[in-house]
Amino acid sequence: MNPKERTQLISEFRILSELNHPNIVQYVHHAHIPEQHMLYLYMEYCDGGDLSYIIKNYRNSNEYLPEGIIWNIFTQILMALYRCHYGVNSPIVKNIYEEMEFPTITDTTKIVIHRDIKPDNIFLSDGKFKLGDFGLAKSLEHEIEFATTCVGTPYYMSPEILLDQPYTPLCDIWSLGCVIYELCALHPPFQAKTHLQLQKKIQEGIYPDIPEHYSASLRRIISYCIQVDINQRLPTFELLQHLNFKIQMKDLQLNNYELNLKKFEDELMLKENELIRAKQSLSEELNYQRKLIEQEVEEIRINYQNEFQYVVEKEVRSRLKQMQIGSTPKSKTPMAQQTLSCHPSPSDFSMVTSPGTPAGAKVLKGPRELETPSHSRLPLTQILDNDPPISKKYTKPTNSGYAPPSSSKKSNGLIAKNAKLFEGAFNDNNDVGPFQTKYNNNWF
């Protein structure tokens, strides 16, 4: 393969990579190996076989294909040729009774002519018929192409290609008409023992009629395709305007919608199953984490309980030990000592005998009887020099006991004054009263 042919093939591979259609075998990539001088083309794999295998099976069983299947195959290959001949996909049929708009061709480089349509190049995959093997004959010289085709199967070649004349996309329509004819009759429309006889029959365009059990519309559409005069041959766009093709296209669209919905439903089911598995996994993870947290909390609780029990036992042992060794209460504070120093000491009280007391009986002396020059009581006016009393009248106690003043108002004033005198008598330098001293120093 010279550089020119290799460049042409690479250009055709680029065109094939842009042919994205559900009825065209998809191009994957190509690989050039210079050491072997080989160029490999990788295409979509179709596991359903080709159309020639289907025709062979019906021929061996002496049965004819149902007309509905033939219309379905015919429509799908026409839709693939529509994408090749006009560079765009066929329009969506909204109303089968409306005319379709003629496509606008903006880029002529996207137009592809197959030139080798035959049952061996129509494949079945996932319930769809797909057109494959694009552009292989286009990269060869016309002489080599004719020789190769004659060695193979020249039954589907158009008259202009056989006569080495300029050709158009209508040559694919001739080949497709021959394929559809073979689907009906289970043999090609033109048969001969020699190549010259075959070429003559093709140029004349005379072929036997299809079996009678097929409809007249199918017979008429085949005749529109197998026309020697290229001007009488209908293009792809005009063929798809036929009502039967519109019905088939509408049915294919509905089937595609159903398949897409089914596919979308399967994807949703997969997503739902994934979410269910994810939920279960999260639930298991949460349960595991919850158990770990509960275990950790239980360990912390047990540790705190043990520590608390240890502290309590330690404190109980300490107090029991203090009780066993006879621990004494706390010593009195200096404030308590200062407060107690204001009272007469026990030595100041001597045992006296009153006149009416039996001999040998011991009686404590009263405070008035203990008055000495060293323990003389100060006058009340001197004690209250800075705070004059409410009443300076003093009531001497009688034998019957203490007689309170008759006036309740005076009595309340005297009680308050006596309390103040008592607090002032025991006040120290820090101005702490006896009641505060009592509670602060645990003095009883």
Contacts of 109 (CB under 8 A, 6+ apart): 15
Cβ pair 222, 211 in contact under 8 A? no
Q: Which of 198, 220, 241 is where one domain is finished?
A: 241
Q: Which residues of 8-36 are buried (b: 16+ CB within 10 A; e: fewer)?
A: bbeebbebbeebebbbbbbbeebeeeeee
Given the structure tokens 């017979």, which residue do they identify?
A: 219
* Structural domain harbouring 177: 3-241
The Cβ of residue 134 has, within 10 Å, a number of other Cβ atoms equal to 24
Question: What is the structure's pLDDT at 98?
Answer: 86
End residue of a domain, out of 219, 241, 263? 241
Which residue matches tokens 């080495």? Answer: 164
Under the banding of pLDDT at 50, 70 and 90, the label for residue 20 is: confident
C-alpha distances out from residue 361 to 347, 350, 353, 364, Å: 18, 13, 7, 10
Residue 440 lies in a domain: yes
Is 1's pLDDT higher than 60?
yes
CB atoms within 10 A of CB 300: 10
Q: How far is it, in rounded angstroms, from Cα 183 to Cα 210?
A: 10
Residue 369: is its pLDDT beyond 70? no
Q: If pLDDT is split at 50, 70 and 90, which confidence band does 376 have?
A: low
Q: Flag whether pLDDT at 142 surpasses 60.
A: no
* Tokens found for residue 263: 């596919």
Segment 56-62 shows an average pLDDT of 93
The answer as to whether 327 is a domain residue is no
Residues 313-342 pLDDT 10s = 999 999 999 998 875 555 444 544 444 444
| Segment 88-98, tens digit of pLDDT | 888 888 888 88
pLDDT of 165 reads 83
The per-residue pLDDT for 3 is 74
Q: Residue 137 contacts by C-beta under 8 Å, 6 or more apart in sequence? A: 115, 116, 145, 148, 149
Instruction: Kindly tell me if the per-residue pLDDT of 153 is higher than 60.
Output: no
> How large a percentage of the chain has pLDDT more than 90?
39
Within a domain: residue 151?
A: yes
User: Which pLDDT score, from 0 to 100, does residue 328 have?
Assistant: 52
403 is a domain residue: no
Q: Could you say which of 206, 241, 276 is where a domain stops?
A: 241
The DSSP string of 181-235 is HHHHHSS-S---SSHHHHHHHHHHT--PPPPTTS-HHHHHHHHHHS-SSTTTS--
Does residue 406 fall inside a structural domain? Answer: no
Tokens encoding 332: 């009195």
- Residues 261-316 pLDDT 10s: 999 999 999 999 999 999 999 999 999 999 999 999 999 999 999 999 999 999 99
**32 located within any domain:** yes
Query: 148-157, 323-332, 361-370: which has the minimum mean pLDDT?
Result: 361-370
pLDDT of 27 over the 60 cut? yes
CA distance 33 to 38: 5
Structure tokens at 3: 């550089």
Q: How far is CA 378 from its chain centroid?
A: 98
413 falls in which pLDDT band (50, 70, 90)?
low
Domain annotation covers residue 298: no
Q: Structurally, how many domains does the chain consist of?
A: 2
Q: Residue 420 — pLDDT band, cuts 50, 70, 90? A: low
Q: Give the three-state DSSP class for 131.
A: strand
What CA–CA distance (Å, rounded) separates 161 from 117? Answer: 13
Q: Is 116 a catalytic residue?
A: yes
CA distance 433 to 444: 14
The least confident of 153-162, 232-241, 266-275, 284-293 is 153-162
Q: Mean pLDDT across the chain, nearest whole number?
A: 76
Say how many Å lie between the first and final Cα of the chain, rounded: 126
Distance CA 213, CA 210 (A): 9
Q: Region 356-375: what's the mean pLDDT?
A: 51
CATH code for the domain in which residue 110 is found: 1.10.510.10
pLDDT digits (tens, 9 = 90+) for 194-214: 888 888 999 998 899 999 999
Cβ-Cβ contacts under 8 Å for 212 (sequence gap 6 or more)? none
* 2 or 170, which is more confident: 170
| pLDDT value at 354 more than 70 | no
DSSP class per residue in 339-387: HHTTSPPGGG--EE--TTSPTT--EEPPTTTT--STTPPPPHHHHTSSS
User: H/E element holding 27?
Assistant: strand 27-33
- Other CB atoms within a 10 A radius of the CB of residue 413 amount to 15
In a domain, 224, yes or no: yes
**CB neighbour list of residue 337: distance below 8 Å, 6 or more residues apart:** none
Please give the average per-residue pLDDT across 240-255, as a whole number: 92
- Please name which of 231, 218, 430, 216 lies closest in space to residue 333, comparing C-alpha atoms: 430
Choosing from 47, 50, 107, 116, which is the catalytic residue? 116
